[in-house]
């Protein structure tokens, strides 16, 4: 038997639990999903990793999304992991900057956490957010200028600032190299 990853193991166990909750046989799930009975048996035993296509068809058979099928794997372990290589977390990538969210996308939240890479002379302009929103920013590398309303400040590596984000605001790379910053948006609970 091949070594099975924790996420795949969780999905295999979840498929078996969902099938048993509905009191379906393997053959009933096979008929509903279009996945062979032998493949389903191997998946439930953990002796085969379901492909994305197979997992999608199984999720559809249960009337749930693929995300719902895998949701809980990391939550059950008490962690939501965001890998640097996961493209769905890249919010923006253009000539000015690259913004990668570091917050789970599936949560309703009052806090959002981003890694922002501003290219030389790059500018990130933002319209006013909800009333009471504040941003906290720390410069990992480079030199930037932050403007909030009519107030501005120059920051360098290791500097931090917090400011009102419920007014027009911007972050500008004033250096000759990429500037990397960590940005946290905190929304007022009244929005």
Let me know if residue 179 belongs to a domain. yes
The tally of domains found in the chain comes to 2
CATH of the domain at 133: 2.60.120.10
Q: For residue 52, what pLDDT is reported?
A: 84
Domain shared by 56 and 114, yes or no: no
Q: Is the four-CA dihedral 26, 32, 38, 44 of positive or negative sign?
A: negative
Return d(Cα 139, Cα 125) in angstroms, integer. Answer: 17
Structure-token pair, residue 93: 């990538």
Over residues 66-88, the mean pLDDT reads 66
CA angle 91, 136, 151 (to 5 degrees): 105
Q: Can you say whether residue 138 is alpha, beta or left, with left for phi > 0 and alpha for psi between -120 and 50 degrees?
A: beta
Instruction: Categorize the per-residue pLDDT at 145 as very low, low, confident or very high, splitting at 50, 70 and 90.
Output: very high
Return d(Cα 114, Cα 184) in angstroms, integer. Answer: 6
Q: Residue 159 in contact with residue 138, Cβ under 8 Å?
A: yes
Domain shared by 71 and 117, yes or no: no
Let me know if residue 191 belongs to a domain. no
Q: What is the pTM of this model?
A: 0.58
Q: Each residue of 115-136: pLDDT tens digit?
A: 999 999 999 999 998 899 999 9
Structure-token pair, residue 161: 């600032």
- Which of these, 149, 145, 127, lies nearest to 137 by C-alpha position? 145
Q: Each residue of 13-42: pLDDT tens digit?
A: 888 888 887 788 899 999 989 999 999 999
Let me know if residue 35 belongs to a domain. yes
Where does a domain end: 23, 54, 76?
Answer: 76
Q: For residue 190, what pLDDT is reported?
A: 55
Let me know if residue 38 belongs to a domain. yes
Q: Considering the chain, what is the average pLDDT of its residues?
A: 84
Share of the chain above pLDDT 70, in %: 86
Exposure of 189 by Cβ count < 10 A (0-12 exposed, 13-18 middle, 19+ buried)?
A: exposed
Domain shared by 136 and 116, yes or no: yes
CATH of the domain at 45: 1.10.260.40
Domain interval for residue 52? 6-76
Domain shared by 11 and 94, yes or no: no
The string over 69-105, giving b where at least 16 C-beta atoms fall within 10 Å of a residue's C-beta and e elsewhere, is bbeebbeeeeeeebeeeeeebeeeeeebbbbbbebee
């Amino acid at each position: 038997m091949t070594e099975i990853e924790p996420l795949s193991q969780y999905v295999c166990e979840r498929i078996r639990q969902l099938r048993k909750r509905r009191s379906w046989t393997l053959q009933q799930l096979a008929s509903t999903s279009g996945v062979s009975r032998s493949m389903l048996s191997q998946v439930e035993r953990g002796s085969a990793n379901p492909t994305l296509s197979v997992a999608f068809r199984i999720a559809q058979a249960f009337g749930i999304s693929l995300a719902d099928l895998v949701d809980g794997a990391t939550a059950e372990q008490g962690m939501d992991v965001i890998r640097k290589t996961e493209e769905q977390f890249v919010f923006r990538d253009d000539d000015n900057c690259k913004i990668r969210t570091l917050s789970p996308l599936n949560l309703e939240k009052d806090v959002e956490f981003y890694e922002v890479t501003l290219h030389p002379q790059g500018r990130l302009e933002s319209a006013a957010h909800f009333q009471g929103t504040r941003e906290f920013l720390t410069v990992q590398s480079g030199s930037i200028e932050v403007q909030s309303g009519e107030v501005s400040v120059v920051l360098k590596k290791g500097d931090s600032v917090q400011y009102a984000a419920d007014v027009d605001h911007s972050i500008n790379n004033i250096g000759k190299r990429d500037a990397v910053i960590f940005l946290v948006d905190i929304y007022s609970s009244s929005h």
